[in-house]
Amino acid sequence: MAKILGSFKTGARATFDPLGRMLVRSGVSPDVVTIAGTAGVVATSIGLVTRGHLFAATLIITLCCLLDVLDGSMARARGHATRFGALLDSTMDRVADGALFGCLAWWCLVTDQHLLGAAAMICLIGAQLVSYVKARAEGLGFTCNVGIAERMERLILIGVAGLLTGVGVHWALPIILWLLAGLTLITVIQRVVHVRRQERRASVGAEERG
């Protein structure tokens, strides 16, 4: 799976690089593209996901998420990425994830799908925790690039669920949403354990040097 996603990311970057260079030459800021993509996800989540129009919402949100690839292409075209741009990108990702899963949970609850709403809330909280643990770990000097369900995997899974539900495969959303909830929590645990192991190795190394 990691190799497949890696190939997909490489191919997507190669596809968007010419457009990224053109936008940079036109004076467009990557930060504007980042914000526009997030605004599209939020608007679509509020306008379509809350009403159960999951097929159309998935298509539009997928297009909006591609802007996340485009802003990276633009940063490469400029020859550098700013620290503010990295912060903004991460922040907008959290906003987009929160809007998507929050609106999905809302739709589940107002249509009396309470267990499914609980799964969506677990995905919402878990997605924020996955990112927080990594950011906090890296702020403390650890590495934290591990986990079975990072953001792209989560988006792919929920996208598949939305498309299948939209064409009448009604069992897809409950199965995939609960699967995603479980994988997200596992990812949080993996990252916490990974950091704990690094700290233990560092403590042992310090004791041996002492």
Q: Which residues are catalytic?
A: 93
| 54 contacts: CB under 8 Å, gap ≥ 6 | 48, 161, 162, 163, 165, 166, 173
**Separation between Cα atoms, residue 100 and residue 113, nearest integer Å:** 17
Residue 169 phi/psi, 5-degree rounding, is -90, 85
Q: What are the distances in angstroms from CA 100 to CA 26, 50, 152, 202?
A: 31, 9, 14, 39
Are 44 and 98 in contact by the 8 Å Cβ rule? The answer is: no
Q: Residue 38 to residues 21, 32, 96, 134, 200: CA-CA distances in angstroms?
A: 21, 10, 6, 21, 39
Q: Centre a 10 Å sphere on the Cβ of residue 59 and count the other Cβ atoms it contains.
A: 16
